[in-house]
Structure 1
């Protein structure tokens, strides 16, 4: 059965859509990491980490490497690290835009809270901030 590319992409992003999986991928960006180190860095139950690693392994994004009694995990390719860097750039831009909007809203709130000025003859106060003189 043929799966449309957009469906395959959606399935891929859905597979990435778990915080523990993202954290594992971030930790693996710099090379293979033993499971014990992943457990120490992520601080979750071993069974939960095992489940998330199994999802990543089945998807082909990570590979496991057995060295004696130690199992290490590594990214299957460099493209995943590129994807994580791209996500970081996108989030940075989105948050910068939100910060800009927050600043504008705060400035608007400050302007709304500033009491209008009493107009003095010959003054050049914007009409929206002038109270009529008694």
Structure 2
């Protein structure tokens, strides 16, 4: 049984990092959530679209979207009987581009945002489809 307790909101995590930062990086550290975010970097998507992208059950994708929404990274708008999800913070693309640069500097080059890539640092949010 996991007996670890979450730090109260705003309280530093055990390592001294603010708990909000820990939650942010934990959300980015999960391969499925990162895959969802990268798909949403391309534009809005319904849950069914994200299910196809990550290849997991709808309930699992919905749980990951809930986590990402709790962290303030995604939001949604109603469209008929479904919802369309989108990046709530376009600055996330800047963070992912910075991660690419850091990984490249350590010899672990990876293209996290193939459609935005290194240009994401200059992204002004245009092209993002928000409701």
Distance in structure 2 (CA, Å) of the matches to 1:94 and 1:88: 10
Residues 1-134 of structure 1 aligned to structure 2 (within 5 Å): 2-4=10-12, 6-7=17-18, 8-95=20-107
Distance in structure 1 (CA, Å) of the matches to 2:37 and 2:67: 12
Question: What TM-score, normalized by structure 1, do the two folds share?
Answer: 0.64
Shift of 1:74: 0.3
- Greater C-alpha Rg: 1
Distance in structure 1 (CA, Å) of the matches to 2:25 and 2:99: 12
Distance in structure 2 (CA, Å) of the matches to 1:2 and 1:49: 28
Distance in structure 2 (CA, Å) of the matches to 1:96 and 1:22: 17
Q: How many residues align?
A: 97
Q: Which structure carries more strand by proportion? A: 1
Q: Structure 1: which 4+ aligned runs deviate by more than 3 Å?
A: none
User: Could you tell me whether the CA contact under 8 Å between 1:62 and 1:73 is conserved in 2?
Assistant: yes
Question: What TM-score, normalized by structure 2, do the two folds share?
Answer: 0.65
1:35–1:2 Cα change, 3 Å: closer
Q: Which runs of 5+ in 1 are unaligned?
A: 98-134
Q: Which structure carries more helix by proportion? A: 1
Q: Which runs of 5+ in 2 are unaligned?
A: 1-8, 110-131
Tell me, what secondary structure is at the counterpart of 1:6?
Answer: coil
